[in-house]
């Protein structure tokens, strides 16, 4: 019996090592794909406010120590794939879309990022139409919520002001219905801020929840990824605020 258990454990570790859980990140240029991966997984991908800087798919293995749950203390590996951004130049898009189709099948989950500051979603709708084969494993995030009008982010609490929050909710329901119209099913869409590490834990949870059944166990191993690790990096935020944010993010 013990032997069988050992064999199964070995097998699990083997699958884990050979094909770790893989998350692909796609979306229009400048929405913060690379920044999201950097904030979430401490990668050091180049980001830019002005020009594109990701021209090919880049594949990274990120290691982390599981900080809670049954696998606490174990090292977990995750594969993250950063995609070049669509929509920079209409002449580039067909080549990028081809690259998307070639690379995305390797991903367990695909995070499609939009920016809260872009009102036009026609481009996203257009690209989504071309990516129909991946709908099942897509999850959506709206980044850069700190830039939502009236742009008065509450830095002390590291959260949107009341006015921002109500605008964020409006943006959220608008984008949700526009995307759902295209892909024909209900979607999960999480508002967050890569730069502020705001609601990254919600985003991560939603990524895990969108993983296909047969690979879910791989993601469960890393489910212990701690929201506190992210919050620790936000500057100027008090311990009490951290506790409050952690509590509210756990309840969502």
Ligand X SMILES: Nc1nc2c(ncn2[C@@H]2O[C@H](COP(=O)(O)OP(=O)(O)O)[C@@H](O)[C@H]2O)c(=O)[nH]1
Which one of the spans 30-38, 92-100, 165-173, 194-202 is the region binding Mg ion (CB under 5 A)?
Answer: 30-38
72: Cβ contacts below 8 Å, ≥ 6 apart: 66, 224
Closest CB to ligand X among 47 and 226? Answer: 47
Contacts with ligand X, residue ranges (CB under 6 A)? 29-35, 47-49, 54, 85, 143-144, 146-147, 193-195
Residue with tokens 């059944």: 213
Tell me if 210 contacts Mg ion by CB under 5 A. no
Closest CB to ligand X among 45 and 76? Answer: 45
Maximum distance among all Cα pairs of the chain, rounded to whole angstroms: 63
Inter-CA distances, 129 with 86, 87, 102, 228, Å: 13, 14, 16, 37
Task: Work out whether strand 75-82 and strand 58-65 pair parallel, antiparallel, or are unpaired.
Answer: antiparallel
- Is-contact 22 44, C-beta < 8 A? no
If binding means CB under 5 A, how many residues of this protein chain bind Mg ion?
Answer: 3
How much is the CA Rg of the chain, to the nearest whole Å? 18
**Among ligand X, Mg ion, none, partner that 29 touches (CB below 5 to 8 angstroms by kind):** ligand X
Closest CB to ligand X among 137 and 199? Answer: 199
Q: Tell the smallest beta-carbon distance from residue 221 to ligand X (Å).
A: 27
Footprint of Mg ion on 34-63 (CB under 5 A): 34, 54
Cα 223 to chain centroid, rounded: 14
Rounded Cα distance, 95 and 57, in Å:
12
Q: Tell the smallest beta-carbon distance from residue 90 to Mg ion (Å).
A: 19
**Among Mg ion, ligand X, none, partner that 118 touches (CB below 5 to 8 angstroms by kind):** none
**Among ligand X, Mg ion, none, partner that 160 touches (CB below 5 to 8 angstroms by kind):** none
Rounded Cα distance, 7 and 4, in Å:
5
Closest CB to Mg ion among 38 and 201? Answer: 38
> What count of other Cβ atoms lies within 10 Å of the Cβ of residue 12?
13
**Among Mg ion, ligand X, none, partner that 158 touches (CB below 5 to 8 angstroms by kind):** none
Rounded Cα distance, 198 and 250, in Å:
13
Footprint of Mg ion on 139-168 (CB under 5 A): none
Q: Tell the smallest beta-carbon distance from residue 1 to ligand X (Å).
A: 50
Kindly list the residues in this chain that would bind Mg ion in the complex (CB under 5 A): 33-34, 54
């Amino acid at each position: 019996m013990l032997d069988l258990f050992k064999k199964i454990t070995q097998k699990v570790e083997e699958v884990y090592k050979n094909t770790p859980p893989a998350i692909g990140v796609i979306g229009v240029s400048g929405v913060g794909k690379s920044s999201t991966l950097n904030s979430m997984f401490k990668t050091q991908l180049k980001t830019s406010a002005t020009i594109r800087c990701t021209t090919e798919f880049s594949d990274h293995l990120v290691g982390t120590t599981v900080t809670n749950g049954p696998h606490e203390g174990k090292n977990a590996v995750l594969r993250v794939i950063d995609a070049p951004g669509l929509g920079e130049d209409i002449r580039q898009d067909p080549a990028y879309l081809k690259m998307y189709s070639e690379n995305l099948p390797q991903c367990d989950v695909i995070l499609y990022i939009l920016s809260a500051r872009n009102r036009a979603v026609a481009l996203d709708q257009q690209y989504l139409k071309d990516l129909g084969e991946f709908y099942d494993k897509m999850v959506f995030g709206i980044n850069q919520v700190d830039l939502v009008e009236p742009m008065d982010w509450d830095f002390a609490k590291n959260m949107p002001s009341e006015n921002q929050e109500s605008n964020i909710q409006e943006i959220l329901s608008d984008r949700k219905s526009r995307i759902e119209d295209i892909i024909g099913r209900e979607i999960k869409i999480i508002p967050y801020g890569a730069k502020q590490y705001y609601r990254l834990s919600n985003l991560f949870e939603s990524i895990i929840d969108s993983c296909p059944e047969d690979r879910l166990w791989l993601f469960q191993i890393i489910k212990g990824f701690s929201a506190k690790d992210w919050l620790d990096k936000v500057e100027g935020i008090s311990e009490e605020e951290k506790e409050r944010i952690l509590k509210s993010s756990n309840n969502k």
